[in-house]
């Protein structure tokens, strides 16, 4: 599959620290790609290099088939017209109305005539700002965020780069944005940088996790859950003497980790076939009742936390 | 210079939609109205304040023009410098620059549009204020010879445009608006100090500082080289600013 964004050995070093360190990843065309990482991981620096706002110290950035790292201003300007961008804190001219903002953005990317009127109206509807007469200077952060998404879409971009698009939104606004992002799948490549794991889990096809400037892992959400979340985590709930059960299970070689719960134990199993045979036998042998023995759903958050270990 | 048209239009609309439309034009109009009246009233004010039976010479048109140039050279120039101190760093810090540049506007177009709108904001009110100055002077003194007024104001306008380009360059390099304004004023003071050296006053933009006053007084003044070098220096500053903007990371 063609990559809309491909970075190879991308590095951005400042005198005091290295923000991005030999990052290599690719964003498939038409996908919704989640770019995850804790604060300070290097996400925004990567976004800036993808857009050509910052020059890499080393490595290459290819966007929509163009090597951005070697481009001059005019070439970059032409390429940026095909990219929609929402910064983490979008800035607008406070004297403009939402319609003014969209018209200004449209004039820069070359949208005019009937397309301008049609897109402006539909994007104002999407942002829930059609009936707002206030100037942008009086908008709440959520309203600015919604307007930011609308202006990013005005040029019907081939690539949409969203930096923390839902961070300032209430649950309803957030749902609207995520629905919109999901609706773009297949038509526009969405590069979705965030630290909100639930959003990624909900809309993204593929995910890259960044920590301290380095790529920790990359793959589909399900793939990551399988690889790192341990589909081998099982809940075992019983009635009866849990302490004896734990003591017996603690001696079994196919158990990696054993954690007490309110109603039994949580097991990390290293040999699932053996476990499926042995667990019912052990429970029966101890004469206690088996209530539940089933895999625990792993969330992206579990994967993220297991991969990105931080000192508190 | 991709995107210069829409961005310049935005800049010009911004002038009419914000405080900028009032401050500099109001200052220039105030100077235009007040300068002849102040010149006319000066002998009376001095004798009243000093409370002495002084017999001061009757004020003339030359006094009115001198007052006008003095006001332009101090008050108006200060307003010019402060008005444009946030031209670039203000847009960078508010995030509007990155939003516009992400839409295909080139850094060069960004700077050229900024300078063009700033020059327009200085030039148009200066022309209007000069007309008002001539009318008020004629009403007050019965005459208003155009040559010293237009000549001195035109040379001051070149100085103002040079100052605009200096301030926009500083605003591109510095993050702080107040530091930009402070260094802009320092550049103006340095130019004034340099003008005390004869060759600099004759052959360089430093001559733009004293020339308006002597032209207004009807004294034959060497203005050609200061104007030519001032315009060239302003153009060079715009090119340097555009290059600096291209190198700056957002």
Q: DSSP string of A175-231?
A: HHHHHHHHHTTTTSEEEEEES-HHHHHHH-SEEEEEETTEEEEEEEHHHHHHHHTTT
CB pairs under 8 A between A and B: 76
Say whether residue A107 is in contact with chain B using an 8 A CB cutoff: yes
Chain B nearest C-alpha distance from A38 (Å): 22
**Which residue has 């989640």 as its token pair?**
A34
- pLDDT, tens digit, for every residue of B87-101? 999 999 999 999 999
User: Chain B interface, mutation test: which of A108, A137, A145, A148, most B Cβ atoms within 10 Å?
Assistant: A108
Neighbours of A297 (CB within 10 A): 11
**Where is pLDDT greater, at A310 or B159?**
B159
Please judge whether B249 and A90 are an interchain contact, meaning their C-beta atoms are less than 8 angstroms apart.
no
Average pLDDT of the segment spanning B223-246: 95
As a whole number, the mean pLDDT across chain A is 87
Which pLDDT does position A231 carry in this prediction?
54
For residue A74, give the nearest of B2, B101, B103 by CB distance. Answer: B2
**Where is pLDDT greater, at A297 or A101?**
A101
Please judge whether B96 and A151 are an interchain contact, meaning their C-beta atoms are less than 8 angstroms apart.
no
Q: Phi-psi region for residue B55, left (φ > 0), alpha (ψ -120 to 50) or beta?
A: beta
Q: Is the pLDDT of residue A230 over 70?
A: no
Average pLDDT of the segment spanning A125-144: 89
Closest chain B CA to residue A135: B17
For residue B95, give the nearest of A83, A87, A155 by CB distance. Answer: A87
Q: Is the pLDDT of residue A312 over 70?
A: no
Q: Is the pLDDT of residue A256 over 60?
A: yes
For residue A91, give the nearest of B2, B6, B99 by CB distance. Answer: B99
Chain A residues in contact with B103 by the CB 8 A cut-off are 80-81, 105, 108-109, 155
pLDDT confidence band for B19 (50 / 70 / 90): confident
Contact A79, A71 (CB under 8 A): yes
Chain B residues in contact with A112 by the CB 8 A cut-off are none
Please judge whether B103 and A95 are an interchain contact, meaning their C-beta atoms are less than 8 angstroms apart.
no
Q: Cβ-count burial of A197 within 10 angstroms (0-12 exposed, 13-18 middle, 19+ buried)?
A: buried
Q: Is the pLDDT of residue A264 over 80?
A: yes
Compute the C-alpha angle A207/A259/A299, nearest 5°. Answer: 20
User: Chain A interface, mutation test: which of B8, B10, B13, B104, most A Cβ atoms within 10 Å?
Assistant: B104
Chain B nearest C-alpha distance from A98 (Å): 14
Chain A nearest C-alpha distance from B26 (Å): 21
Closest CA to A42 of A165, A209, A168: A209
Interface of B with A (CB under 8 A): 2-3, 5-7, 9-10, 14, 17-18, 91, 94-108, 246, 249-250
Q: How many domains does chain B have?
A: 1
Which pLDDT does position A311 carry in this prediction?
39
Which pLDDT does position A271 carry in this prediction?
83
Please judge whether A77 and B94 are an interchain contact, meaning their C-beta atoms are less than 8 angstroms apart.
no
Contact B229, B209 (CB under 8 A): no
- Tell me the CA distances in angstroms from A6 to A41, A68, A209, one per residue in order: 19, 10, 15
**Beta strands A189-194 and A233-239: pairing type?**
unpaired
Structure tokens at A294: 């089933």
- pLDDT, tens digit, for every residue of A39-75? 888 999 999 999 999 999 999 999 999 998 888 888 8
Containing structural domain, residue B21: 4-247
Chain B residues in contact with A90 by the CB 8 A cut-off are 95, 99
Please judge whether B250 and A93 are an interchain contact, meaning their C-beta atoms are less than 8 angstroms apart.
no
Which pLDDT does position A1 carry in this prediction?
64
């Amino acid at each position: 599959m063609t990559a809309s964004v491909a970075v190879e050995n991308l590095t951005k070093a400042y005198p005091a620290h290295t923000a991005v360190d030999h990052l290599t990843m690719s964003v498939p065309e038409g996908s919704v790609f989640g770019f995850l990482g804790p604060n300070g991981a290097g996400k925004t620096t990567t976004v800036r290099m993808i857009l050509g706002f910052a020059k890499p110290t080393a490595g290459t950035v290819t966007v929509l088939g163009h090597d951005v790292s070697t481009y001059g201003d005019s070439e970059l300007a032409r390429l940026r017209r095909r990219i929609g961008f929402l910064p983490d804190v979008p800035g607008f001219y406070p004297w403009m109305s939402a319609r003014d903002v969209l018209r200004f953005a449209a004039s820069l990317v070359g949208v005019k005539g009937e397309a301008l009127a049609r897109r402006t109206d539909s994007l104002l509807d999407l942002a829930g700002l059609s009936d707002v007469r206030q100037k942008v200077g009086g908008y709440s952060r959520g309203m600015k965020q919604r307007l930011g998404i609308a202006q990013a879409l005005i040029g019907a971009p081939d690539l949409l780069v969203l930096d923390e698009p839902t961070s300032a939104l209430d649950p309803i606004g957030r749902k609207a944005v995520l629905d919109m992002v999901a609706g773009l799948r297949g038509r526009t490549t969405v590069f979705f940088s965030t630290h909100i794991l639930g959003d990624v889990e909900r809309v993204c096809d593929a995910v890259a996790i960044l920590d301290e400037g380095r790529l920790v892992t990359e793959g589909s959400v399900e793939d990551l859950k399988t690889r790192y979340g341990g589909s081998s985590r099982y809940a075992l709930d019983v009635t009866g003497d849990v302490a004896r059960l734990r003591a017996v299970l603690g001696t079994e070689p196919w158990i990696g980790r054993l954690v007490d719960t309110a109603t039994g134990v949580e097991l990390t199993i290293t040999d699932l076939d053996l476990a499926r045979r042995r667990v019912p036998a052990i429970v029966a042998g101890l004469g206690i009742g088996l209530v539940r023995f089933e895999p625990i759903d792993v969330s992206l958050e579990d994967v993220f936390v297991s991969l990105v270990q931080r000192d508190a | 210079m991709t995107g210069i048209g829409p961005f310049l239009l935005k800049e010009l609309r911004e002038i009419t939609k914000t405080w900028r439309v009032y401050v500099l034009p109001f200052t220039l109009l105030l100077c235009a109205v007040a300068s002849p009246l102040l010149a006319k009233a000066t002998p009376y004010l001095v004798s009243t304040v000093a409370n002495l039976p002084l017999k001061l010479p009757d004020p003339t048109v030359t006094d009115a023009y001198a007052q006008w140039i003095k006001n332009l050279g101090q008050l108006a120039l200060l307003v010019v410098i402060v008005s444009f101190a946030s031209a670039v760093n203000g847009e960078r810090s508010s995030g509007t620059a990155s939003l516009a540049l992400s839409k295909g506007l080139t850094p060069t177009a960004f700077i050229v549009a900024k300078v063009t709108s700033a020059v327009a904001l200085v030039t148009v009110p200066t022309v209007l204020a000069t007309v008002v100055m001539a009318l008020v002077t004629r009403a007050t003194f019965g005459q208003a010879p155009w040559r010293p007024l237009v000549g001195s104001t035109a040379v001051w306008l070149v100085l103002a445009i040079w100052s605009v380009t200096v301030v926009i360059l500083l605003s591109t390099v510095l993050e702080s608006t107040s530091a930009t304004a402070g260094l802009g004023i320092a550049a103006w003071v340095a130019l004034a100090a340099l003008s005390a050296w004869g060759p600099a006053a004759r052959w360089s933009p430093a001559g733009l500082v004293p020339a308006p006053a002597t032209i207004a007084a009807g004294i034959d003044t060497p203005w050609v080289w200061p104007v030519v070098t001032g315009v060239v220096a302003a153009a060079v500053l715009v090119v340097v600013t555009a290059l600096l903007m291209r190198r700056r990371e957002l």
